[in-house]
Amino acid sequence: MKPINVLIVGAGAIGGFYGALLAKAGAEVSVVCRSEFDLIKQSGYLIESRDLGDWHFMPHLVLRHPEDYPEQADYVVLCTKAIDVSENLELIRPAVSNNSAIVFIQNGVETEQAFIDAFPGNEIISGLAFICCNRIGPGQIAHLAYGRLALGSLTNTISPKAKQLGALFNAAGIECRITDDIIGARWQKCVWNAPFNPLSVLSGGLATQDILSTQDPLVRSIMQEVVAIASACGHPLPEDIIECNIANTRTMPPYKTSMLLDYEQGRPMETEAILGNTIRAARREDVPSPHLETLYALMKLRELKVAQSSNTH
Amino acid sequence: MKPINVLIVGAGAIGGFYGALLAKAGAEVSVVCRSEFDLIKQSGYLIESRDLGDWHFMPHLVLRHPEDYPEQADYVVLCTKAIDVSENLELIRPAVSNNSAIVFIQNGVETEQAFIDAFPGNEIISGLAFICCNRIGPGQIAHLAYGRLALGSLTNTISPKAKQLGALFNAAGIECRITDDIIGARWQKCVWNAPFNPLSVLSGGLATQDILSTQDPLVRSIMQEVVAIASACGHPLPEDIIECNIANTRTMPPYKTSMLLDYEQGRPMETEAILGNTIRAARREDVPSPHLETLYALMKLRELKVAQSSNTH
């Protein structure tokens, strides 16, 4: 039987970890990785997982660019940061063939339509990762906690391809749920991301625990705005979603958000995917969102300051 | 004729400059200054003013503590940062005698009652300075722009003491207006301070020009909340106040706010006097202020982060 071909684009901590799981389950997993190409080509990845143990992942092919992929990918899995969607679309285009399903495991809301418009003949699968994992050294990925995935096809209501991919993840020991409301699931994740990501950066680097223990009402106000926007967009969220998020965050270990890690390391932040798209949805649906508007404006100011500082260095 | 006795408490840039003006006009001006006591006692202040020229100000007495003041002050002028009102009240108490008028030249709103309660037998004069001036070296104060003062007695509707003080400032070349609505004037100043001070800190250090040129709608939303709060507190502000503030800020030279200077130099910030008191007035008067609430919560998070960082150093 022909193996399942997977091409991972953006093989950092998230892409490397989920790629390693698919390989473990028997798929033929290749990766596009630019910054550590030589090292990964030679030695692959070392995965250190608290829950799943340690193992070595040697990709089938290690490529510098998607256009170097010589095969027909069953799945092109995009795991880059959600910084610039149109750039992402052009990045993967050369590796997408007629039968490829395009999977994006990324943060953010309202990025779906761009994928559907760019690849009208392909199945598009939207994925969300609930995971703490970090790159801890060259080719070294630590899986610290969680790991659950949600996948949903945007184009097919019954999707054998999404099911097949989910089965591989499950076989590798990670819970992967196939949902028919992946857009609602994105809004659910946004309920957490929209407050904690920007607050961690704007506070100057506080952990989630410190934010929540001192500014609980602000966190709730922001979450309420996201819930109202999601509802206006046709995705009413569970009634207890804010209480659940607050309770879960209280019991999480003190955690640096991904946006804070990006900020501290001078990388671009997912401001547009998480806040910008949320705000644009709010304006379109006429939902007042003063807390989110304030955070978004402040993040844009912060980005402007970063740009000024890097210009003068 | 007995000279007018003035004791300046908090003789940094603002206190030193306004003290120097009163001395120039003939008052006997003493200063309490702690950090540069030896230097000021020996050499006084050098004032370098773009508008008024340079001059030397040798205080009548230089003291470490208000309790060391041996005379009956006609005016005790408090020019410290508005960080902790009750601390300020206890600081000046030993120098206040029966006939002393207490003048506070400080930022912030709703600090009046604490002075009135603490010194029920004394005249209390509230003062606002519209000025750019900085300490540029030991004992050296640069007066860069503006300088206008507004004074208003909180206890006497017709106040000879406020008039006398205003006349001294005017004689020294600085416009000093006596107003019967100094509380309204404080709210007016807050219309500018409430957005630009925190935004300059939370953006990571942007100048007013950059904030305004990229986030004009946020600045206006914050200003509108301050206007609504002031009005609910019985101080309706002029209709064009937001347009005037925006227009003036556009033509100002790029300017680092006082809160940003404090933040950069690791000093406490006037978060409570400018934002905290405004928010508390909004809650009391039931005026929704989501933008201000967000800024205030973020400033508290930022202060928490500063405290954490200084604990670990």
Q: What is the pLDDT of residue A254?
A: 73
What Rg value do the Cα atoms of chain B yield, rounded? 19
Supply the pLDDT for residue A312.
Answer: 66
- For β-strands B28-32 and B5-9, DSSP reports them as parallel
The answer to whether the CB of A36 falls within 8 A of the CB of A162 is: no
Residues of B with CB under 8 A from a CB of A: 199, 202-206, 210-211, 214-215, 217-218, 221, 290-291, 293-295, 297-298, 300-302, 304-306, 308
Of A299, A279, A247, A41, nearest in space to B298 by CA: A299
Fold of A184-312: N-(1-d-carboxylethyl)-l-norvaline Dehydrogenase; domain 2 (1.10.1040)
**Nearest neighbour of A302 by CB, restricted to B203, B217, B308:** B203
Mean pLDDT over residues A155-162, rounded? 89
B32-72 confidence digits (pLDDT tens): 998 899 999 999 999 999 999 999 999 999 999 999 999 99
pLDDT digits (tens, 9 = 90+) for A82-139: 999 999 999 999 999 999 999 999 999 999 999 999 999 999 999 999 998 888 999 9
Quick one: which of B219, B20, B201, B187 has its CA closest to B110? Answer: B187
Percent of chain A residues topping a pLDDT of 70: 99
CA A37 to chain centre: 22
Residue pair B39/B76 in contact by the 8 Å Cβ criterion = no
Compute CA distances A300 → A106, A259, A276, A306, whole Å.
Answer: 21, 13, 10, 10
Beta strands per DSSP E along B51-164: 53-57, 62-63, 75-78, 101-105, 123-137, 140-153
Task: Please say whether the beta carbons of A205 and A178 come within 8 A.
Answer: no
pLDDT tens-place string over residues A132-156: 888 899 999 999 888 999 999 999 8
pLDDT digits 0-9 by tens, A254-288? 778 889 999 999 999 999 999 999 999 999 999 99
Interface of A with B (CB under 8 A): 199, 202-206, 210-211, 214-215, 217-218, 221, 290-291, 293-295, 297-298, 300-302, 304-306, 308
Say if the Cβ atoms of B214 and A295 lie within 8 Å.
Answer: no
Would you call B2 a catalytic residue per the annotation?
no
Question: Cβ contact (<8 Å) for B294 and A297?
Answer: no
d(CA B21, CA A262): 51
Strands A140-153 and A176-178: parallel
Per-domain boundaries in chain B: 5-180, 184-312
3-class secondary structure, B222: helix
The one catalytic residue among B24, B81, B161, B189: B189
Which conformational region is residue B43 in: left (phi greater than 0), alpha (psi within -120 to 50 degrees), or beta? alpha
Count of Cβ atoms closer than 10 Å to residue B90 Cβ: 12
Considering the domain B5-180 in this protein, what is its CATH number? Answer: 3.40.50.720
Quick one: average pLDDT of A42-71?
Answer: 96
Name the residue among A157, A149, A156 with its Cα closest to residue A185. A149
- pLDDT of A192 over the 80 cut: yes
Average of per-residue pLDDT across A234-243? 97
pLDDT on residue B293 = 98
Q: Provide the pLDDT for residue B145.
A: 83
* Residue A206 DSSP label: -
Each residue's pLDDT tens digit, B277-287: 999 999 999 99
Mean predicted lDDT score pLDDT of chain A: 95
Distance in angstroms between the alpha carbons of the first and the last residue of chain B: 56
| Nearest CB to B302 within list A203, A294, A306 | A203
**Closest partner CB to B305 (pick from A204, A297, A298):** A204
Q: Which of A224, A293, A301, A310 to mutate to test the interface with B (most CBs of B within 10 A)?
A: A301
Q: So what's the pLDDT on residue B134?
A: 86
To the nearest whole Å, the CA of B221 is away from the closest chain A CA by 9
Chain B residues touching A300 at Cβ < 8 A: 214-215
Q: What is the pLDDT of residue B156?
A: 85
Calculate the CA A158 to chain-centre distance.
Answer: 23
Inter-chain Cβ pairs, chain A and chain B, closer than 8 A: 93
Residues of chain B with pLDDT under 50: none
In chain A, which residue's Cα lies nearest the Cα of B293?
A218
CA angle B220, B225, B228 (to 5 degrees): 125
- In whole angstroms, how far apart are CA A85 and each of A95, A138, A272, B12, B146? 16, 27, 10, 52, 48
CA distance, residue A178 to nearest chain B CA (Å): 37
Per the CB < 8 Å rule, is A211 touching B298? no
How far, in Å, CA of A291 to CA of A99, rounded?
Answer: 44
Distance of CA A63 to the CA centre of its chain: 22
Contact residues, chain B, for A211 at CB < 8 Å: 301
In contact, A198 and A263? CB cutoff 8 Å: no
Catalytic residue positions of A, numbered: 189
C-alpha closest to that of B146 among B226, B81, B49 = B49
- The Cα–Cα gap between B76 and B74 comes to 7
DSSP code for B95: G
